[in-house]
Amino acid sequence: MGKIAVIMAITDKTKGKKGISAFILEKGMEGFTAGKKENKLGMRASDTSQLIFENCKIPFNKLIGNEGEGFIQALKILEGGRISIAALSVGLAQGCLDAALKYSKERKQFNKTLSEFQITQFKLSEMQTNIEAARLLTLRAAYMKDHNIPDIKEAAMAKLFASEIAEKAAGEAVQIYGGYGFIKDYPVEKFYRDVKLCTIGEGTSEIQRIVISRDVLKD
């Protein structure tokens, strides 16, 4: 666990979501400890662990913003986080394409490189097209965020599309590698494990579709 953590707590049960507040907790505070590090499928370089609270008392000066603003603060963080996940997805997808492209030019079957087969060419062309589309969606959402333009729908669209095409790109990269794609000596095996989190983190793909549909149907 890092030196600090941001947590949410209900400070007024009568106010519903307006009764949620955000606090900063520091490592070593009485009653606040970290549990075991989770043994994850992918993204293993990023540690994930439980937070344990046992009679933890938080001083008022650890409050972030004003009391009752925690829910709104969380939504704002989610919005930016979705753009970050979209950018991560684009990077992972690009890594998959780069690895698959390099391998397809080196690996030979039936006296031809894999890149000379039309089925491989189609896979690579679809990966490239999807990555470029995802990159543009992500850049648009990031631009809107930087310029304080409401971007709830755009962030959700970027995250949804980029994460799902990244997952598909990882699958296609493993397919191009064949049996070697299932071996840890090759990069696409790790891409395949890591990319799944992108369709889950900062709201699942199903949640993104709900966010987008609300905007589409609001009129």
Mean pLDDT of the chain: 94
Average pLDDT of the residues in 124-133: 98
Contacts of 61 (CB under 8 A, 6+ apart): none
**How far apart are alpha carbons 64 and 56 in whole angstroms?**
17
Query: pLDDT value at position 28?
Result: 87
pLDDT digits (tens, 9 = 90+) for 196-207: 999 999 999 999
170-205 pLDDT, tens digit each: 999 999 999 999 999 999 999 999 999 999 999 999
Which pTM value belongs to this model?
0.89
Q: Is 202 a catalytic residue?
A: yes
Three-state secondary-structure class, residue 44: coil
What are the tens digits of pLDDT across the range 102-115?
999 999 999 999 99
**4-64 belongs to which CATH class?**
mainly beta
44-57 pLDDT, tens digit per residue, is 988 899 899 999 98
In contact, 37 and 46? CB cutoff 8 Å = no
Residue among 54, 167, 202, 206 flagged as catalytic: 202
Helix extents (H) in 27-151: 70-106, 118-146
- What is the pLDDT averaged over residues 90-97? 98
Between helix 70-106 and helix 152-177 the angle, nearest 10°, is 30
CA 92 to chain centre: 11
Q: Do domains 4-64 and 74-217 have the same CATH topology?
A: no
CA 173 to chain CA centroid, Å, is 20
What local confidence, expressed as pLDDT, does residue 75 receive?
86
What's domain 74-217's architecture? Up-down Bundle (1.20)
Report the C-alpha gap between 81 and 115 in whole angstroms.
Answer: 36
Cα dist. 39→44, 71, 92, 198 in Å? 8, 29, 21, 17
* Sequence ranges of the domains in the chain: 4-64, 74-217
